[in-house]
Structure 1
Amino acid sequence: MRIKRTTSTEAPDINLIPLIDVLLVIVIFLVVSTTFMQPSQLEVDLPGTRSAQEDARPPEALRIRVGRDGNYALGAQGVLTETQLRTELSKVLSAKPASEERRAIVEADAAATHQSVVMVMDMLASLGVAKVSIATVGGKSP
């Protein structure tokens, strides 16, 4: 039995239609199964204007205001510097019994420096204030 070998001069061609069909099915599968909503990397609970917690705030909480020019005010007292604020805070807090929970509310101007607000919070922590809140006004976008 003799097998003849035929030599062809035609170059073999690759049929691309099945490849395109398979790729189209893969693209359709990916589009259908992909979610287009990106989850947030950091979830935050934004403060509101008036909450039940703010209304239930005890009246003995200290109110410290931080101005845009770096001055401070404690309660009804006028403008204080950093050293005056520390002295006044230590006077007020030494008058309170140690068993009483110490609270403070920091009301900072929107243009106040971050350093001045952190300095007040650090001062309160060093004087033994257990809870520090930051007052906000809701409803306005910056």
Structure 2
Amino acid sequence: MNLRPKDHEEPEMNLTSLIDVVLLLLIFFMVSTTFVDESRIKLQLPQASNEPAADQKKDPIEVAVTATGEYRVNGQVLINTSPATLSAAVSKLAGERRDLPVTIRADARSTHQSVVTAMDVLGRLGFKAISIATVNDQSNSAAAQ
């Protein structure tokens, strides 16, 4: 009778297949990833100053977006809400000058699409100084306090 315990071999972990899978995944992600730089909006944040900037001394163009999605260029209501009409109105007002500052004023209830359309039209026309104006609603802030 053999009463000696059997020698247990330590289990061995084979990592070869795991390394192969990791390398295949790495190659897959490297090949399937696109490195295209999408067009991005370049923002220039304002700096606080006591004197108005040189851009503010020029006659600005103001594009207002109402709650119903209508556009107004320097206070004049456009005949419809199409981007072509907005483009024609801004082009007529600015002429060949694309260095004029443009301010977009949107109603709080206007759709996001209307504001983005106005920004897109102005960008396609070649304007570089586009600002978005905000207004503090005094009635809401006074009611909240």
TM-score (normalizing by structure 2)? 0.52
* 1:74 to 1:129, Cα distance in 2 relative to 1, 3 A: same
Residue 128 of structure 2 aligns to which amino acid in structure 1? A
Name the CA distance, whole Å, in 2 between partners of 1:111 and 1:54: 33
Partner of 1:77: 76
* 1:126 to 1:110, Cα distance in 2 relative to 1, 3 A: same
**Unmatched tracts of structure 1, length 5 or more:** 1-46
Flag the structure with more relative contact order, 1 or 2, with Cα contacts below 8 A and sequence separation at least 6. Answer: 1
Q: Contact between 1:65 and 1:74, CA under 8 Å: does it hold in 2?
A: yes
**1:58 to partner: Cα distance:** 2.6
Q: Contact between 1:102 and 1:128, CA under 8 Å: does it hold in 2?
A: no
Match of 2:113 among 112, 115, 135: 115
Q: Contact between 2:86 and 2:121, CA under 8 Å: does it hold in 1?
A: no
TM-score (normalizing by structure 1)? 0.53
SS in 2 for 1:91: helix
Name the CA distance, whole Å, in 2 between partners of 1:63 and 1:73: 8
Name the CA distance, whole Å, in 2 between partners of 1:54 and 1:139: 25
Match of 1:133 among 131, 134, 144: 131
**Unmatched tracts of structure 2, length 5 or more:** 1-45
**1:53 to partner: Cα distance:** 7.6
Q: Contact between 1:72 and 1:85, CA under 8 Å: does it hold in 2?
A: yes
Task: Work out the percentage of aligned pairs sharing the same amino acid.
Answer: 33
1:1-142 matched pairs, under 5 angstroms: 52=49, 55-56=52-53, 57-81=56-80, 82=82, 83-93=84-94, 95-97=95-97, 101-138=99-136, 141=141
Q: How many residues align?
A: 91
SS in 1 for 2:92: helix
**1:102 to partner: Cα distance:** 2.7
Residue 118 of structure 2 aligns to which amino acid in structure 1? V
Larger radius of gyration: 1
Q: Contact between 2:58 and 2:100, CA under 8 Å: does it hold in 1?
A: no
**1:60 to partner: Cα distance:** 1.4
* 1:104 to 1:54, Cα distance in 2 relative to 1, 3 A: farther
**1:66 to partner: Cα distance:** 0.2
Q: Contact between 2:78 and 2:85, CA under 8 Å: does it hold in 1?
A: no
Q: Contact between 1:73 and 1:80, CA under 8 Å: does it hold in 2?
A: no
